Amino acid sequence: MTFRRLVGVSLLVLFAAELAGCSGAKTPTEEDTMTDKDRRLARRGKLFGDVQFGPGTKKGQEGDTGAGAGIAVNGFLWRASLDTMAFMPLASADPFGGVIITDWYTPPESPNERFKTQIYILDRQLRADGIRVSVFRQVRDATGGWSDATTRPETAAELENAILTRARQLRIESGGAP
């Protein structure tokens, strides 16, 4: 089937489906009165929902535990993870799934090795077991390529502790209990 024919058949099917949807009177809804821009914004929603991450969050509000409707993980752990890993380039961040992935980072003092991290926020509560960090390391081989290398087992634990410390600071700054 040629591309033109495929497009023609697709348009015909879409037109038929649209026509079938018009088979009855409907009362106007709120969405009918919205502009196209409003509809797009309503479908997308807010990136972080109604959770506040900054010091403006009061104790007892959604940001207090980070368990708001728009984000599935603890807001303090999320913000602390981003703050702690700010020196590394960010490859991906999913606030709803609680996953932060950095891109490869080469420390200036050791240009023959590079690091990458994956951070998983596992809970809506600010708890020590609510975060897991994986650290990956590569070293430059004789041909100039990168090969996987081991990291010290303490490295991930040290990063987890740094993130937890920063999360506690953020909670205290927001007026929450320590």
pLDDT in tens, 104-116: 999 999 999 999 9
Q: Each residue of 52-76: pLDDT tens digit? A: 444 444 444 444 444 445 567 899 9
Give residue 47's pLDDT. 45
Q: Specify the pTM.
A: 0.60
Cα(142)–Cα(163) distance, rounded to whole angstroms?
Answer: 36
**How many Å apart are CA 148 and CA 165, to the nearest integer?**
30
* Number of Cβ atoms within 10 Å of the Cβ of 37: 8
Mean pLDDT estimate for the chain: 76
Stretch 90-116: mean pLDDT, rounded? 94
Does 169 have pLDDT greater than 90?
yes
